[in-house]
Amino acid sequence: MSIDDNNYTLQYRSKGIDPKTGEKADGSKWALGGYFPTMESLLNDWVTNAPAYAEEPPTTLKDIVEVIKNAEKHIAKMLA
């Protein structure tokens, strides 16, 4: 996450397939997650998209709920 001139930017470590090489990314690069006008909108988007960026892709509804709960706990920990 970065803040530039009243603009909040969300970035994720790239862990998918590198489109240039076709190999699995090592997590050393960052992928743009979006630009947001407020911290609240950034955090809402982060929680909403947490299942898409999970270490292990969730396979059940229970897994998705757990990923979202963990994302919310992580936010609470960061803001504490």
CA dihedral 24, 29, 35, 37 (to 10 degrees): 130
- Per-residue pLDDT of 33-77, as tens digits, reads 889 999 899 999 989 988 988 878 899 999 999 999 999 999 999
Its pTM stands at 0.69
Beta bridge partners of 32: 11
- Per-residue pLDDT of 16-37, as tens digits, reads 665 566 666 666 777 788 899 9
**70: which residues sit within 8 A by CB, 6+ positions away?**
50
